Amino acid sequence: MRKTVEQFFVAVAIALLQLASSKTALAQDIKGAFRLGFEGVLYAQDSMTVSASSGPVATGDVNVKTRTTGVLPSALGLGVGYAPSSHVLLGVHFLAASTKTEVDLTGAQPTSGTQWSILPSLALLTRSQGVVRPFFETRVGWRGASTEVAGTETSSTSMLVVGGGAGLHIFANDHVTLDPAFNAYYTHGTYKDASTEMTGSGFTVMACVALSAWFGTKPSPWDPLDSKQWPTTGRAEESSAPAAGPTEPLPSEDATVRLEPRVMSLLVPVNPSSSLYLTGVPDRSGTTLLLQWRATGTPPWTPDCKTLTVVMGGTEHPIPNVGQRSGGEAYGTWMGIGGSFGSQAVIALGEARDSRLVACGASLELAPAAKQISDFGARFRSAAIRAGTWRETPGSTPPKKDADEPEGAPPAN
């Protein structure tokens, strides 16, 4: 048992190193997910008052207080759970420990002891998404212990356990969490041996850590305003624009376009020290697209990019001094915090190499003029989050001159 516990804490240490080195863990939505956790006790302390109820000592004649403390005791548990919503986790926790003593003396008999507990739980998570998910938990269950000498039980303990605690689910990657927690319990039960029966009550405090695997988690929508969720690596590629030719017209502003439930995100390097993060998220109605942005780097961006301009229905909505703003969701006065814009919207990056982004029908389009684009959609491979579609923006490429047409000649009628 001791070896198993040591192996568990080695696994926890490895998870800590992975968590420290991983900067790309996504915020996870646990709704509908199952949890399987391996739990260990870092510290435990019991304080109880017991009274003899039968045996050689009369009832109430003796009060005994016992207190035990330990660091890394030989206890290892298993926790299983299911999340019916993003804020609720139902579970059951099993904890067991065993000891065995053998003395190499004539007549000495081996002694062994076991402890166990089973605790159903209800946990409430304070955040619906995020890499770190704080939780508060209540537990009610049963705890028991027994001692055997030469294979014969000599004493037993059974107790009701009621309590709870608080902790964190820390996503080391998409499906693994490190879960430190602190719990406190009220206990009440009986102790029996060959000649005495005692009843008692008290309190137990425990510091625990778990290494959990999650099945069925879904990435939460990426918030570009949360720097902890920013991807740190990406693949830069040029726009795969088709040859110039007839293009499909953009839908009118009044047209109803059903947007697919997905997230499209871009990183636009404006200069060697500055970047612009963009993401498009369809709202619940599926007819509008919420745009969020975040400017990073060393301000000012001039002369590369002075102004971020949103063009909608022929009306321009500029955001001046974009390089000196920390980011947001407000474009002029027409779009407030949490607002959205229609399916036909053109986003021009001011003087940033004449680049132009088009959001239309839940696809982000990039003009060939902007070559330095890193698409992080491939990092979020799931049904909910996919990469945008790159293609030429209608009207962004000037028509080619005829080879026989002299320079400066007026256009043919």
CA R_g for the chain: 32
Please provide residue 11's backbone torsions phi and psi, each rounded to the nearest 5 degrees. Answer: -65, -40
Provide DSSP, 47-95.
EEEEEEEESSSPTTS-EEEEEEEEES-SEEEEEEEE-SSSSEEEEEEEE
Q: How many CB atoms are closer than 10 A to CB 74?
A: 18
What is the predicted pLDDT for the residue at 123? 96
DSSP 323: G
pLDDT value, residue 66? 54
Note the pLDDT of residue 344: 28
Q: What is the pTM of this model?
A: 0.50
The residue type found at 285 is S
Phi then psi for residue 88, to 5 deg, are -125, 135
Question: Quick check: 295 and 327 in contact, CB under 8 A?
Answer: yes
pLDDT on residue 45: 84
pLDDT tens across the length of the chain (413 residues) = 555 555 655 665 565 555 544 444 445 678 889 999 988 888 888 888 877 666 655 555 555 555 555 544 556 788 999 999 888 999 999 988 777 777 666 666 778 888 889 999 999 998 766 678 899 999 999 998 888 887 787 888 899 999 999 999 988 877 888 899 999 999 999 888 877 788 888 888 988 889 898 988 765 544 433 434 433 332 222 223 333 333 333 333 333 333 344 444 444 444 455 444 555 554 555 444 455 545 444 443 333 344 444 443 344 445 444 444 433 333 222 222 222 332 223 233 332 333 333 332 222 333 333 322 223 233 222 222 222 332 222 333 333 333 443 333 333 33
Alpha-carbon distance 97 to 86, whole Å?
Answer: 33
Q: Which two tokens stand for residue 99?
A: 């000891």
- Sorted by where each begins, the domain ranges of the chain are 7-219, 227-243+252-379
Q: How far apart are CA 223 and CA 281, in angstroms?
A: 10
Collect all residues with Cβ–Cβ distance below 8 Å to 18 and sequence separation of at least 6: 172, 173, 176
Tell me what pLDDT residue 23 has.
42
pLDDT of residue 36: 92
How many C-alpha atoms does 183 have within 13 Å on its Cβ side? 30
Write the CB contacts of 243 (distance below 8 Å, at least 6 apart in sequence). none
Dihedral sign computed on CA atoms, order 195, 201, 202, 205? positive
pLDDT at 179: 93
Q: Are strands 236-237 and 75-82 parallel, antiparallel or unpaired?
A: unpaired
- CATH fold, domain 7-219, is Porin (2.40.160)
